[in-house]
Amino acid sequence: MRVLVVEDFEVLARSIGTGLRREGMAVDVVLDGDDALARLAATRYDVVVLDRDLPGTSGDEVCRDIVAGEAGSRVLMLTAASTVRDRVEGLGLGADDYLPKPFDFAELVARVRALARRSTPAVPPVLRAEDLTLDPSKRLALRGGRRLALTPKEFALLECLLAAGDRVVSTEELLERVWDEAADPFTTVVKTTMRRLRAKLGEPPMIETVREGGYRIGAAR
């Protein structure tokens, strides 16, 4: 899951980014509306956590731009104003959800995950393939009833593959969806993480490598 955090209070912005990464999400953080529009023009995000009061281009204008586009990004709007009128205005701009400050971080995570499930194409809250079950909200992965001890990146990698169903997911897409802008596209981080994930999944193999294509969930060939 790829998330963009747009918040001008840098301490809060970095804190949200760090917390969401610990939940296995790939997160980019910007501090003003102009940078947000630049990122949105270059990268598809599942969810945008958007402060309404921003320097440069306002959060309202950023929201309108996202809604007018075709990327399908969901918007969780944040603001210090918490009146019903403010919430109605935010939703009227096209935001998918609205969370007043201060907020509980666990609630923020739950709302981000709920919005991501509504992105296109929609994915179910619990992902399954054969004897493998993944519950992102509980950070729980099971195979044959056995709990898998996955790192956040391994978990996110598996989540991305399961959400894709039978579709082949390229290395480039995995790098974009599971890591963030800090990832070096010339490293072997995807291959290395995939090798560790396969070892933890055990036998029989669950992840197929498609030559010159990428990876997908299915019997290895």
pLDDT tens figures, 1-44? 889 999 999 999 999 999 999 888 889 999 999 999 999 998 88
Please check whether residues 99 and 183 belong to one and the same domain.
Answer: no
Q: How many residues does the chain have?
A: 221
Q: How far apart are CA 155 and CA 25, in angstroms?
A: 10
Please check whether residues 7 and 111 belong to one and the same domain.
Answer: yes
Residue that terminates a domain, selected from 90, 117, 144:
117
In the prediction, which pLDDT does 126 show?
87
Please check whether residues 112 and 147 belong to one and the same domain.
Answer: no
Q: How far apart are CA 211 and CA 214, in angstroms?
A: 7
Parent domain of 150 = 127-217
User: Residue with structure tokens 């918007």?
Assistant: 75
Q: How many domains does the chain have?
A: 2
Give bridge partners of residue 106 from the DSSP assignment: none
In a domain, 122, yes or no: no
- Which has the higher per-residue pLDDT, 185 or 135? 135
Q: How far apart are CA 205 and CA 211, in angstroms?
A: 16
Instruction: Please tell me what DSSP assigns to residue 136.
Output: G
Please check whether residues 90 and 22 belong to one and the same domain.
Answer: yes
Residue that terminates a domain, selected from 96, 117, 138:
117
64 burial type by CB count under 10 A (0-12 exposed, 13-18 middle, 19+ buried): middle
Instruction: Please tell me what DSSP assigns to residue 152.
Output: H
Could you tell me the pTM of the whole model? Answer: 0.70
Q: How far apart are CA 102 and CA 114, in angstroms?
A: 20
Please check whether residues 94 and 142 belong to one and the same domain.
Answer: no
Average pLDDT on 92-99 reads 85
Please check whether residues 104 and 201 belong to one and the same domain.
Answer: no
Within 10 angstroms of residue 53's Cβ, the number of other Cβ atoms is 15
Please give the mean pLDDT across all residues of the chain: 86
Q: How far apart are CA 7 and CA 31, in angstroms?
A: 5
CATH number of the domain at 19, please.
3.40.50.2300
State whether residue 139 is helix, strand or coil: coil
The residue type found at 105 is F
